[in-house]
């Protein structure tokens, strides 16, 4: 009886894993929107009067923007996130920028 209960709990536990995950697929329209959003964030970096971010890459997925690459200071890293968040259509920013030493 204990074995049956444990198997039931194990099955329940594995059934719950990943329930809240979105599919990793996009429609062609979503992909085009994300490409345009990535480009808009890059352009916002290029148009920033205070900082230039030549070593920062931008990838968008369903409105969520991931920043990666290198900057020289923590202020530049924070500024990159702020600039990205200000672009219309960005719903979330994951800032994976690394400081260059």
pTM: 0.73
| 10-28 per-position pLDDT tens digit | 444 444 444 555 557 888 8
Neighbours of 78 (CB within 10 A): 13
User: Does 34 fall in a domain?
Assistant: yes
- Residue 38: CATH number of its domain: 3.30.1340.30
HSE-up (13 A, CA, CB side) for residue 1? 0
CA angle 34, 35, 37 (to 5 degrees): 60
Residue 95 has pLDDT above 70, yes or no: yes
Render pLDDT for 45-76 as a digit per residue (tens, 0 to 9): 999 887 777 889 999 999 999 999 999 999 99
Asked whether residue 33 is domain-assigned, the answer is yes
Residue 68, domain extent: 27-99
């Amino acid at each position: 009886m204990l074995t049956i209960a444990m198997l039931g709990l194990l099955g329940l536990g594995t059934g719950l894993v990943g329930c809240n995950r979105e599919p990793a697929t996009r429609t062609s329209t979503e992909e085009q929107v994300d490409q345009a959003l990535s480009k808009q964030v890059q352009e916002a970096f290029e148009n920033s009067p205070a900082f230039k971010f030549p070593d920062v890459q931008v990838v968008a997925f369903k409105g969520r923007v991931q920043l990666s690459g290198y900057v020289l200071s923590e202020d530049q890293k924070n500024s990159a996130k702020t600039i990205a968040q200000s672009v219309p259509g960005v719903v979330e920013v994951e800032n994976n920028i690394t400081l260059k030493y």
